[in-house]
A and B are shown apart, each in its own frame.
Chain A
């Protein structure tokens, strides 16, 4: 009697293939969805305040102080030749050191935004920061107290100056908006080139015209 041939010989080794079609279907749907709904140009919002004459009442930082706080009166004034940075109402003829500095335009005609940025950092560190008196609750532009979403009060630094976070911008009529935005960037913050840490300077610009 002959033996039955072994079943093992009948098995043919087959390569097990993954069924990629469902994954492919999902990817084909996801890619167009992401492409159409993604933001390719990143937009931001640059907040500004009204010119001092139209603002009325000095904004929301006014507190129930009996004695009004002294004014820093930080002014960044652009003219045809360059940018002047002054505090406490100082002018080019003022004799007090560290209160007025003028930055002429670069040889290419560009405004010296880096110089202005450094000078504002100096003012912030040497004049404004030493005047911090502690913390107080923040006000919004309408003069109302501000709260976090959990109901806790939003606390900010209380300075010895009434306008410690404000910079008044003055510029000639023909200054292009892009240069104004670059100037506002220079007044708002300082970025450490080594550590990339950001230090707040004067985040509340008030645009006006000094005649």
Chain B
């Protein structure tokens, strides 16, 4: 009987299916899938955290809602302090410069209500309120005066008060600060 040729040897070898051991990979994937499903939460999709902003930590358990949103930046990370309009996690418009935000009135000027108002933010919110009121009349979506504020952990109390006062003056009375849940 003649010896098999090289071609026959090769074809015989390739005919045997070389099975990759998938069991260990399946184990890894199954563990990953279980972990992801257990820790899955998509509520954060309603609010996007703005870059270069360190939000404060809190033990609050209220989930975020999608509302009118602004950013109050101390400039500690970004280097550009100020108040910004926010949309989908991006600063879309500078409303007030850092010098206006961080200015502290003293003496008689501190008693002047205008010293606690941010003009750029005021103008912006006035426009948004008109828009939301029109939507309320046309579509029946109620204007509830909610506004969410992404404020840097290093922003001072005086700036926070200015933002709150300006929001209140422009009918945004339900102010909510975005925080990172610590528990």
* Residue positions of A touching B, CB distance < 8 A: 17, 20, 23-24, 27-28, 30-31, 34-35, 37-51, 54-55, 141-142, 171-178, 180-182, 184-185, 188-189, 191, 207-209
Q: How far is the CA of A24 from the CA of B164 in the complex (A)?
A: 52
Known: A43-B44, A45-B62, A54-B168. 15 other contacts (CB 8 A): A23-B26, A39-B45, A42-B180, A45-B64, A48-B176, A49-B173, A50-B173, A51-B168, A175-B157, A176-B157, A177-B156, A177-B157, A178-B56, A181-B57, A184-B58
Flag whether B2 is at the interface (Cβ < 8 A). Answer: no
Q: Are B104 and A44 in contact (CB under 8 A)?
A: no
Cβ distance A9 to chain B, nearest Cβ, rounded Å: 23
* Contact B156 A41, beta carbon cutoff 8 Å: no
What are 25 A-to-B residue pairs whose CB atoms are below 8 Å?
Answer: A20-B26, A30-B36, A38-B39, A44-B60, A44-B62, A45-B63, A46-B179, A47-B62, A48-B176, A49-B173, A50-B165, A50-B168, A50-B173, A51-B161, A54-B168, A54-B169, A142-B144, A173-B158, A175-B157, A178-B153, A180-B157, A181-B57, A191-B59, A207-B160, A207-B164
Q: Are B49 and A43 in contact (CB under 8 A)?
A: yes
Contacting residue for B44 out of A35, A39, A191, A209, CB 8 A: A39
Residue pair A43, B181 in contact (C-beta under 8 Å) = yes
- B65 / chain A contacts, CB cutoff of 8 Å: 45
Say whether A177 contacts B145, CB under 8 Å.
Answer: no
Task: Please name the residue on chain B nearest to A177 by beta carbon.
Answer: B155
A43:B161 contact, CB within 8 angstroms: no
B156 touches A173 (CB 8 A): yes
A177 and B151 within 8 A (CB): yes
Q: How far is the CB of A25 from chain B (nearest CB, A)?
A: 11
Q: How far is A208 from B162 in the complex, measured between Cα atoms in Å?
A: 10
Task: Assess the B58–A44 pair: CB atoms within 8 A.
Answer: yes
> Which single residue of chain B is at the shortest CB-CB distance from A175?
B157
Q: Are A174 and B29 in contact, with the CB atoms below 8 A? A: no
Q: Which of B30, B36, B58 contacts A38 (CB 8 A)?
A: B36
Task: Kindly name the residue among A27, A46, A180, A209 whose own CB sees the greatest number of chain B CB atoms within 10 A.
Answer: A46
Contacts A34-B36, A42-B180, A180-B157 given; does A47 touch B42 at CB 8 Å: no
CB of A76, distance to nearest CB on chain B (Å): 13
Name the B residues within 8 Å of A48 (CB-CB): 164, 175-177
Chain B minimum-CB-distance residue to A176: B154
The reply to whether B153 and A176 contact each other, CB–CB distance below 8 Å, is yes
Q: Is the Cβ of B33 less than 8 Å from the Cβ of A30?
A: yes
Q: Does the CB pair B36–A24 fall under 8 Å?
A: no
By beta carbon, the residue of chain A nearest B105 is A173
What CA separation (Å) do A189 and B156 show in the bound complex? 24
Contact status B157-A171, CB under 8 Å: yes
> Which residue, A27, A172, A173, has most C-beta atoms of chain B within 10 A?
A173
Chain B residues whose CB sits within 8 angstroms of the CB of A42 once the complex forms: 41, 44, 180-181
Residues of B within 8 Å of A35, CB to CB, are: 36
B156 near A24 with CB under 8 A, answer no
Candidates B25, B175, B179; contact of A43 at CB < 8 Å: B179
Q: Which residues of A contact B151 (CB under 8 A)?
A: 177
B61 contacts A by Cβ under 8 Å: yes
Least CB distance, B108 to chain A, in whole angstroms: 12
Contacting pair B62 A31 (CB below 8 A): no
Least CB distance, A106 to chain B, in whole angstroms: 19
